[in-house]
Each structure stands twice: as structure tokens, then as C-alpha cells.
Structure 1
């Protein structure tokens, strides 16, 4: 995303949410040969997204009483997604459970995205200035770039 102005963290997270939704839609239409590639893209996107949120967004939320209340549930939802990702990673796309687990993961992610966008984003917008949100956006992009190699390495099984 080469923009002259840094996007605020909420815009970045929202864009990633839309990207993951597209990946899930592709996975639903994929045949067995394409399914593993789709899953790998979902795995990478969700793992990077969750780790970056945990390192950048959640610590910022802890600074405000109004947003701190959401962290525990959000972290639990991230943990649920991580467990599902690892369970799917251990399966073959031809296993009957593979598509079922991806549907389960999609449902969990949709729930998490809904809560973030409908509850957390408005709360954090009330607490932080545009400048703070943009600075967090910069930090989010930088941290995500640093994590990318580590996540790619974890994908190779």
C-alpha cells in the first residue's frame, strides 16, 4: 500500500479483514488442488494479522479503560483461530475434515471481525487522536513487515 500518507491503524486492519474474507470466498470455491494454496494464504494472512494486532494494537488498547475491556475476549478469539489454523495445517485438503474446519475458522473469524469493527473501532476512535491512530498504523505496517519472514518459515511443513 504505497500511499503518500500513512493510513490509520483502523483502516489497515479493516483492509486486512476484507482481504481475508476474499480468501475464504476463494477457498469455498476451490477444488482439492487449489484448496491447499488457498489455505496457505489464509494461514499466512491470519497469522500475520493476529501477531501484529497482539504486538501493536492490543498494547495501545490497554492504555484506555474504555478499550481495555475488549482485550481478553479478542485474545481468546485469536487463540481459537490459531488452534484451528494448526489443526487444518495438519490435515490434507482431501481429508473430509479439511473443509469443515475451514468453515469453522471462517465463522470464528467473522465473529471476531464483527466485534472489532462494531465495538472496538468506535471505542478506540473515541480515545485516540487521528495522529495517534496514524502513528499506530505506521507501527502496524513496520511490525507486520518484520514478522513476514518468520510466518513464511512457519508455513513450510
Structure 2
């Protein structure tokens, strides 16, 4: 988290980190407890990433791209679907067959979302925005990720200004819970 550079480079680095967690999940035998640990780590990264995109990237999409409202609405809807899967996943241990179904659904959904962003949305933004704008957005996204929740909250607001107000408080509670429970930590 917090890699430096413009917003597109920052977010693509996040994508690689999530894919690394997915690879670790896939490398573990079904039922292995580490699958849950890696799923929690992927969820933590995905939630922070999504909150930052919703706070800063998608408003920039709305502002700088033709049909930006439609594009941003579609991306936000995909986030909502993934967030609900992550919320459902929280309730299952790695040895539960439902865990396997949900983690497979999440990985499929996220991989499709990443491909769409990197192949379509990001090149459009790179063409439409100045390097300065992309760098400023990168700084804002990095800051947002530091304060963002680490657990899925499907009913929380996902558009500004409400998400920018609510997310830091929820994030504080989530990070405290993570610290107390050891969530996302590998033994």
C-alpha cells in the first residue's frame, strides 16, 4: 500500500498485489487454513483499493471522460458486487465448501474488473488527464488507502462526499479489530 507515482501506476501495483494473494490461495490445497488468511489479506487490500477509487478515481472519470458518469457507475456497481461476495466470504472458514465457491467467484469478478480497468479505463484516463493531474490523484489515493476500511461494508456510501466522511471512521474501527484479532496476519 502506498507505492508512489501517478494514480494509474499506484492502482496497477495494487492489482498485482491482489493477484499475488489470489495465486497464494490457488496454490494451497482446498480446506487449508492459509487460504482464509490469504483471502483476508486480499480482502483488506481490495477494500482499501476500492474505497480510494470510489473517492478519487471515479470522480475523475466523471469529470474527464466522455460518458464518464456511465463508466464510473458501472465500475462502482462492480465494486458493490465484489464487496458483497467479500462480506459473504467473511462468514466461512477455508474448510467450508461455500468458501471455495465464494473465493472462486471473487477471483473471477476481480480479475475481470482489473482487466477492464487496465485495458480500457486507465488508457482513456492517461490520454485525458495531464501528468500533474494523475500525480495529484495518486497522492490522494495513497492518502485515502491509509484511512480506508479493511473489511467489506456493502451498506456504506460509495460516492462522494458521504464516502469521504464515513470511510475514515469505519477504517479506524476495522484496523483496531484487525489488530485485536490478528486478522490478515500469517502465522
TM-score, structure 2 normalization: 0.76
Size of the aligned set, in residue pairs, is 155
Q: 1:2 to 1:111 in 2, by over 3 A?
A: closer
Give the corresponding residue for 2:6: 8
- Higher helix fraction: Structure 1 or Structure 2? 1
Question: How many angstroms apart in 1 are the aligned matches of 2:67 and 2:116?
Answer: 12
Question: Relative contact order, CA 8 A, sep 6+: which one is greater?
Answer: 1
Q: Secondary structure at the match of 1:126?
A: helix
Q: 1:2 to 1:125 in 2, by over 3 A?
A: closer
Structure 2: gaps of 5 or more residues: 150-170
Question: How many angstroms apart in 1 are the aligned matches of 2:57 and 2:102?
Answer: 27
How far the C-alpha of 1:153 sits from its partner, in A, is 4.4
| Misfit runs of 4+, over 6 Å | none
Give the corresponding residue for 1:125: 126
Give the corresponding residue for 1:37: 37
How far the C-alpha of 1:115 sits from its partner, in A, is 0.8
Structure 1: gaps of 5 or more residues: none
Give the corresponding residue for 2:93: 92
Question: How many angstroms apart in 2 are the aligned matches of 1:116 and 1:153?
Answer: 32
Q: Secondary structure at the match of 2:93?
A: coil
TM-score, structure 1 normalization: 0.90
